[in-house]
Amino acid sequence: MKKFLLFGLSVLIGFKSIAQDREPLTFEKAVEIGLERNFDVKIAINEAIMATNERRIGNSLLLPTLDATNVRTYRKEDTEQTFVSDPSTPRMIPGAQTRTNNYSLVAIYGFSADAVVALQRLGKLAEISELEAKVMIENAVAAIATSYYRLVLEQQRYNVLNTTLELSQERVEIAKAQYEFGRASRRDFLAAQVDYNADLTALVNQEQVIQNSKINLNELLAIDPQRNFDIKDTITIRENLLLEDLMENAYDNNKQLLVTQRLENVAYLQLRELQAQRLPTITLNGAYNNNSLRSDAGFLLTNKQDGITLGATIGWNLFSGFSLNRRIQNAKIQMQNQRHFLDQYEIQMQSDIQRTFNTYENSKRLLEIEQMNYEVAVENSEIALDRFRLGIANYLEFRDAQVNRLQAESRLIESLYNIKETEIELMRLSGKIYFQSSYEKIH
């Protein structure tokens, strides 16, 4: 029995010594680390930056192009020439050299109505990428918050099991003393040992649950799975969540809703872009040329040109095999679909908020019940322990009160976590999970 007690104490002392070496981790610090290192967040921010670059590069559609070229050639060849004026006497020029040197500067500016609409569409796509990055950030914060408070829950469960183990150890000592003085049977003493073993097993298993929960949190934070830390936070819940405020905030701040609205705008701009292709296009061009020629053979021995060339082109597509009509019709259908997607998401968002809020309210009512039940269970267990010490109650009565207290406290902290979990989801759905420092990275 002494070896058994020493083993149980060594497990607890070992776990506490590890906890002392852990670095503290607050919820705010966990979110900060996650948003700095989470790979999904990094990818989303980079994609938003890429979309912004596409919009800036797209401005070149309304800018002219300017090309400069310089072409130089040299030829050396034996030449034989016969002229009309004297066909009987050919002219022989051995090693005749020809040199040309051409400079040109060409500017072209083309304007089309669909290019202007395309720029607007690129701007909306950049907004969508930015909003999608914010959606990813909010999802990451929600996942970190859920995992963090899950770890808090598991540590609180560990504390509950540790308290239960201490009561079981006290029961073993009482049962042992009663057995030695002949006030209880050996069966009672052995039953106390069996229950102690069961409580110790539950405590060891809970330690493994805590370790796995930390690995899950480390994965979200993109840090080493073996990195250890200490969490001393408790689960705190808000008291002022109102359904009307959540709905109103969701319509203003729910990023996925805003994305769906922007997609409808993009579909409309795609339609306008196709319709604009029916309008004429204007292309202006200008060039400066400087050409020189020197030749030892031929009619021209030297030739120099220096001047500008200006021109304009107006183009108008009159018929394209009805392909443009087909694309316009499909664009109209796509715009209708995006309208349906928006309506569908609005209903889904309202339903999600309503369901989650109902769960939130129900969990708060359950919390009140569990708090009262826990107080009763604690008082009952204390009375049962006093009766067991005096030998009035048997071990079954004491164990039943002990188990009831364990279950009541476990349900209590589980109720707190359930409220916190639904609270996090409500904050996400209403767009109120906001971290300005992380959003600034997108711009």
**Side-chain-side CA neighbours of residue 276 (13 Å):** 16
Share of the chain above pLDDT 90, in %: 32
Q: What is the pLDDT of residue 12?
A: 38
Q: Work out the pLDDT band at 4, boundaries 50, 70, 90.
A: very low
Query: CA 54 to CA 60: how far, in whole Å?
Result: 10
Residues with Cβ within 8 Å of residue 118, at least 6 apart in sequence: 58, 61, 273
What does residue 35 show for φ and ψ, rounded to 5 degrees? Answer: -75, -20
Whose structure tokens read 């008291």? 239
Q: For the residues 375-397, what does the mean pLDDT come to?
A: 82
Residue 435 pLDDT exceeds 70: no
Residue 29 pLDDT exceeds 50: yes
Query: CA 15 to CA 6: how far, in whole Å?
Result: 14
Query: Closest by alpha carbon to 117, among 109, 125, 127?
Result: 125
Q: What is the pLDDT of residue 24?
A: 84
Q: What is the pLDDT of residue 86?
A: 66
What the chain holds in terms of domains, given with CATH numbers, is 21-63+112-279+316-442 (1.20.1600.10), 71-83+91-111+284-315 (no CATH)
Do β-strands 65-83 and 281-295 pair in parallel, antiparallel, or remain unpaired? Answer: unpaired
388-431 tens-digit pLDDT:
777 777 777 878 888 888 889 889 999 999 999 999 999 999 99
155-214 tens-digit pLDDT:
999 999 998 888 888 878 877 887 777 766 787 778 888 888 998 999 999 999 999 999
Query: Closest by alpha carbon to 220, among 167, 147, 151, 164?
Result: 147
Query: Closest by alpha carbon to 99, among 71, 58, 124, 118?
Result: 71
Q: What is the pLDDT of residue 58?
A: 60
pLDDT mean across residues, the chain: 83
Query: Closest by alpha carbon to 127, among 331, 271, 263?
Result: 263
What does residue 69 show for φ and ψ, rounded to 5 degrees? Answer: -135, 150
Q: How far is CA 364 from CA 241, 255, 367, 422, in A?
A: 12, 28, 5, 11
* Radius of gyration from C-alpha coordinates of the chain: 41
**Of residues 154 and 81, more confidently modeled:** 154
How far from each other are the two terminal CA atoms of the chain, in whole angstroms?
A: 66
Share of the chain above pLDDT 70, in %: 89
Q: For the residues 426-442, what does the mean pLDDT come to?
A: 67
Q: Work out the pLDDT band at 28, boundaries 50, 70, 90.
A: confident
Do β-strands 229-230 and 281-295 pair in parallel, antiparallel, or remain unpaired? Answer: unpaired
77-104 tens-digit pLDDT:
777 777 666 677 777 778 778 788 888 8
pTM: 0.77
